[in-house]
Amino acid sequence: MGKASSAKKIKRVQQAGVSRAPGQRRNLAYPALIAAIIVVGLVLVFFARDSRQATASVAPTSRDHWHAAFGIDICGEFQGNVSDAGPDRLGIHTHKDGLIHIHPFGAGASGQNATFGKFASQTGLVLGNGTFTLPGGKTYKNGDKCGKDEGRVALYVWPPQASDKTDPRIVTSNLADVRFTEDGQIFVLAFAPKDAKPKLPPSVPALENPNDTEPPQQGSVNGSIPASTPATSAPAGASTPTTAKPAG
């Protein structure tokens, strides 16, 4: 029974593993599905890598350090310079000097991702469709009155070294998507009558010699509280510890 029985068992197992009848074609749907998934995965990886490489090669890159002048014009009056609303995690910020400092830390703020919307978020400006809200909470929108006239929200963009005679590009929609494309650009976020002649912001001269000293990353939202308190300061009425002199 030994060899004959074992041979029969092996034959039964082999027959059990054959699911198709003689002459029936093998089902190729499952292997084809697996192959398709692999191909699609490889294509997606290729395009993702190509996209990252393209973004890394489009200025501004992490090797660039650009500056742009910026101001907010409300009915012909420039407002105070905005400041960072928190730590800069992308590489687009301000020093409350009327300049936008653009030196991307990575892909999140470089190339096609170096947008005015990133700067707006960094400073607490809220951009909408025909509207914007200042960090202090005041909102301006198309159709509101600007004096006796109807106001309009617009972003004016000048090229580097523009003068008062240079006509800006006027953007009235998708303000957040406007890109920083070269060093020395000039931006004005305005709420003004449609026919008002836009003015260059007061910070334009600062482009000649920008201050790149990093601002404090702690303290109040507007940077009014310094990042660190000197060790010699103490609350009023508090005793100041003394240092014992060494013996001898």
pLDDT of residue 211: 86
CA nearest to 120, candidates 84, 172, 96: 84
pLDDT of residue 12: 64
pLDDT of residue 44: 75
Non-local (6+) Cβ contacts of 44 within 8 A are none
pLDDT of residue 35: 77
pLDDT of residue 47: 61
pLDDT of residue 19: 52
Expressed in angstroms, the distance from the first to the final Cα of the chain is: 105
pTM: 0.66
Low-confidence residues of the chain: pLDDT under 50: 50-51, 54-55, 216-248
